[in-house]
């Protein structure tokens, strides 16, 4: 029985990658913003249509550092959602800030904009929403609320690389957006990430943060850490970016097949496509509610057949043990997120997933009704 994992990393042809890294055997320049890094950064600024892209060794440190760059008072509050990966909440807390958990909406699972204002206090400094599954948050309403209250907006856009909203790249919403190029994402640099923004003043801060604040051989101006992207990661990015369009087109076919097979089945809820959004087909979430089996039973049945689905996102970050004592912790305070976390499963989805395998997955789900 062939095993199907929930994701499978996109990779360029072996020869193409070798060609890209070959020059390093002449230069011996392996990291510290070399030629590959420079090229990849400018490729991305063009692809994402964004004024500034600062590359990082992973998405998490990119997010941690862009929050730090805003220099909020310690103990300030950041409004965010718990229906996300650990990274989002951890990045807030590791900066000495307090996450205030807002519920999500049940249409696209992004932050419920109607619930943001009631959570704003005189300690609130920012909103940190997540473009979950590549679904775009209500960026206009969030901007309006932030402007009315003098708040910063930082998007966790880890899922939303290459997504466009009414023709505008997701890199251009809020004060900054973070992308992850982790191996499991639609676009990868093995490990990697970036922060995108338009404010010229942030460029040197973000560069200082990832390279010890070193400005020159004898000049250290900032207490920065180390989060640089290496030349090998950048080379992977250059190669993968060349094939991204084909990879997304293949993902689209997989998603269309899932929709064909699973639409209209009682007790199965699929996430509606968003109007005006050019999708990257990053994930395929299915909500099991009033189906013949519950989510965990479907998960187990798929696993018995060698198919890896993912309880994504379960548990919610506001029910993590490490956040037990936080003021808005507890999944009871975010009922929509809690409802979804107990019922959602993301099905296997990657560019090379065969349509026959999609059928096999759907057959298993449909037959266990
Ligand atoms: C992957 C991911 C991150 C972190 O990215 P890394 O590159 O793995 O550090 C952050 N937020 C979300 C929602 C993610 O899915």
Domains and their CATH numbers in the chain? 14-242 (3.40.640.10), 244-368 (3.90.1150.10)
What pTM did the predictor assign?
A: 0.97
Q: Is pLDDT above 90 for 172?
A: yes
Pocket of ligand 1 (CB under 6 A): 58-60, 84-85, 87-88, 130, 156, 158-159, 180, 182, 193
Confidence of residue 46 (pLDDT cuts 50, 70, 90): very high
Cα–Cα distance measured from residue 102 to residue 68, given in angstroms and rounded to the nearest whole number = 22
Place of tokens 């050019």: 278
pLDDT, average across residues 132-151: 98
Q: How far is the CA of 219 from the centre of ligand 1 (A)?
A: 32
Residue nearest to atom 7 of ligand 1 (CA): 59
What ligand 1 atom has the least distance to the C-alpha of 130?
13
Length of the chain: 369
Give the pLDDT score at 331.
84
Give the pLDDT score at 1.
66
Q: How far is the CA of 266 from the centre of ligand 1 (A)?
A: 33
What ligand 1 atom has the least distance to the C-alpha of 180?
7
Contact between residue 346 and residue 270 where contact means Cβ atoms under 8 Å apart: no
Q: How far is the CA of 158 from the centre of ligand 1 (A)?
A: 5
Cα–Cα distance measured from residue 307 to residue 286, given in angstroms and rounded to the nearest whole number = 15
Contact between residue 42 and residue 49 where contact means Cβ atoms under 8 Å apart: no
Average pLDDT, whole number, for the chain? 97
The neighbour count for residue 336, using CB atoms within 10 Å, is: 16
Q: Is pLDDT above 90 for 369?
A: no
Give the pLDDT score at 326.
85
Residue nearest to atom 5 of ligand 1 (CA): 59
- Using most ligand atoms within 8 A of CB, pick from 92, 158, 312 the residue to mutate for ligand 1: 158
Q: How far is the CA of 60 from the centre of ligand 1 (A)?
A: 6
Confidence of residue 330 (pLDDT cuts 50, 70, 90): confident
């Amino acid at each position: 029985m062939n095993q199907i994992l929930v994701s499978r990393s996109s990779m360029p042809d072996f020869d193409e990658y070798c060609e890209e890294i070959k020059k390093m055997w002449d230069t011996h320049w392996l990291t510290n913003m070399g030629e590959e890094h420079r090229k990849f950064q400018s490729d991305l600024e063009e692809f994402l249509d964004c004024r500034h892209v600062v590359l990082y060794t992973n998405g998490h440190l990119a997010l941690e550092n862009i929050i730090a760059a805003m220099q909020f008072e310690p103990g300030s509050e950041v409004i965010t959602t718990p229906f996300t990966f650990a990274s989002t909440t951890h990045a807030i807390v590791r900066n000495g800030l307090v996450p205030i958990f807002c519920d999500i909406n049940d249409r696209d699972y992004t932050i419920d904009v109607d619930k943001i204002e009631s959570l704003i206090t005189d300690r609130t400094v920012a909103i940190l929403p997540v473009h979950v599954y590549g679904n775009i948050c209500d960026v206009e309403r969030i901007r309006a609320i932030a402007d009315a209250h003098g708040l910063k907006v930082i998007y966790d856009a880890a899922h939303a690389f290459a997504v466009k909203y009414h023709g505008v790249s997701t890199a251009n919403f809020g004060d900054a957006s973070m992308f992850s190029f982790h191996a499991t994402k639609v676009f990868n640099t093995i490990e990697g990430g970036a922060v995108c923004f338009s404010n010229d003043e942030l460029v040197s801060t973000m560069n200082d943060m990832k390279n010890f604040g070193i400005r020159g051989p004898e000049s250290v101006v900032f207490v920065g850490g180390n989060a640089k992207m290496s030349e090998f990661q950048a080379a992977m990015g250059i190669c993968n970016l060349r094939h991204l369009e084909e990879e997304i087109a293949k993902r689209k076919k997989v998603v269309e097949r899932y929709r064909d097979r699973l639409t209209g089945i009682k007790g199965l809820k699929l996430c509606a496509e968003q109007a005006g959004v050019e999708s990257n087909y990053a994930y395929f979430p299915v909500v099991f509610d009033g189906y013949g089996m519950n989510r965990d039973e479907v998960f187990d049945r798929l696993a018995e057949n060698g198919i890896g689905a993912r309880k994504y996102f379960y548990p919610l970050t506001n029910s993590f043990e490490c956040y037990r004592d936080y003021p808005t912790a507890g999944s009871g305070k975010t009922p929509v997120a809690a409802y979804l976390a107990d019922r959602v499963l993301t099905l296997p989805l990657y560019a090379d997933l065969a349509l026959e395998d999609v059928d096999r997955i759907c057959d298993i789900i449909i037959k266990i009704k």
